[in-house]
Amino acid sequence: MIDHIKSLIFGSAAGERLPADSYDRVASATAAILIETAVMDGDFDVDERATIRRLLIERFGINEGDVDTLIDETEKAVADAVELFSFTRVLKSDYDYGDRVKIIEMMWAVAFADGNVHDYEANLIRRATGLLHLSDRESGEARKRVLEQLDKDAGAA
């Protein structure tokens, strides 16, 4: 399965995309960029994992068993990745503007999941913002929406 995930994200050995379903490609790339965000501070903790799990289930309707497998296998693939472009290339080509903004919002949600946004996480989100052809302002607005939702959730608890 890890080879399948790598091929969905990075393409075939010849540099071509495999004839994979767009949903698989986008779900895998989204999982990869969220996991990359989580590990940037050197600690992929349970809160970050739970946030990624929830976001993938909400966004793609993946069942619980499959989302756990996707996260585990994608975590291994991300460990082998050396650059961000492969993930964002898939998202940029398969997602429209609103979906790309949502990805940045999801990245902010993961960064805030452990209660502390590390400088490396913020830097990764800024680089992804540019690679997805979004502005810093759009990223800032996404960040603000995440903080508002976290405040609302804290008030409801």
Residue 132, domain CATH: 1.10.3680.10
Contacts of 150 (CB under 8 A, 6+ apart): 112
- The pLDDT assigned to 153 comes to 87
Domain with 6 in it? 2-156
- The pLDDT assigned to 87 comes to 85
Cα atoms in the 13 Å half-sphere on the side-chain side of 98:
0
State how many domains the chain has. 1
- The pLDDT assigned to 21 comes to 47
Question: Per-residue confidence of the chain (157 residues) as pLDDT tens digits?
Answer: 555 555 544 454 333 333 334 458 899 999 999 999 999 999 899 999 999 999 999 999 999 989 999 999 888 888 877 678 888 999 999 999 999 999 999 999 999 999 989 999 999 999 999 999 999 999 999 999 999 999 998 887 6
- The pLDDT assigned to 78 comes to 83
Tokens matching residue 6: 């790598």
Tell me how long the chain is: 157
DSSP assignment, residue 84? S
- The pLDDT assigned to 79 comes to 80
- The pLDDT assigned to 4 comes to 53
Q: Which of 87, 91, 107 is nearest to 99 (CA)?
A: 91
d(CA 103, CA 101) in angstroms, rounded, equals 5
Say if CB 29 and CB 15 are below 8 A apart. no
